[in-house]
Amino acid sequence: MLREVSPSRILIGKLYRGEDLLERLTAVCREKGVRLGRIEAVGAVERARVGFYDQRMRTYGFFDFGGPMEILSLLGNISLKDGEPVVHAHIALSDAAGAAFGGHLAAGTKVYACEFLIQELAGTELHREMDEATGLPLWKE
Ligand code: ZN
């Protein structure tokens, strides 16, 4: 599958201490009507919840990391699931010793500070549907 899209609006903003990182980024997309796009962010979190997809079991395992951490990189995309914008993002974090780790961003990650950029894309919308080969909600052809 391959689509050609064009750059559209760029939104830049910040989140506030205590907000849920994934839920707020998703809310921004819904509030601003972004249905297709890319997203990036840097900042810091008070705690994090990330997932790792067990390909054999076909289920997500979730890890909770406590303590202050830097957001080294949050990268993701915005597409549609059940007609609503969803953010699929992966996050790399670092601890006080500089050790890095991360995963599939899940709800439950609390913002300390966050600066984000959302690039809206113009083109045919992408809809997520369950993919039999992986058990994941992937983009429909
Ligand atoms: Zn993922």
Q: What is the pLDDT of residue 109?
A: 98
Instruction: List pLDDT tens digits, range 132-141.
Output: 999 999 999 8
Quick count: other Cβ atoms within 10 Å of Cβ 29?
A: 23
Instruction: List pLDDT tens digits, range 83-99.
Output: 999 999 999 999 999 99
Whole-model pTM: value is: 0.96
Cα(17) to ligand 1 centroid in Å equals: 24
Cα(74) to ligand 1 centroid in Å equals: 11
Instruction: List pLDDT tens digits, range 43-78.
Output: 999 999 999 999 999 999 999 999 899 999 999 999
Residues with CB under 5 A from ligand 1 (ion): 104
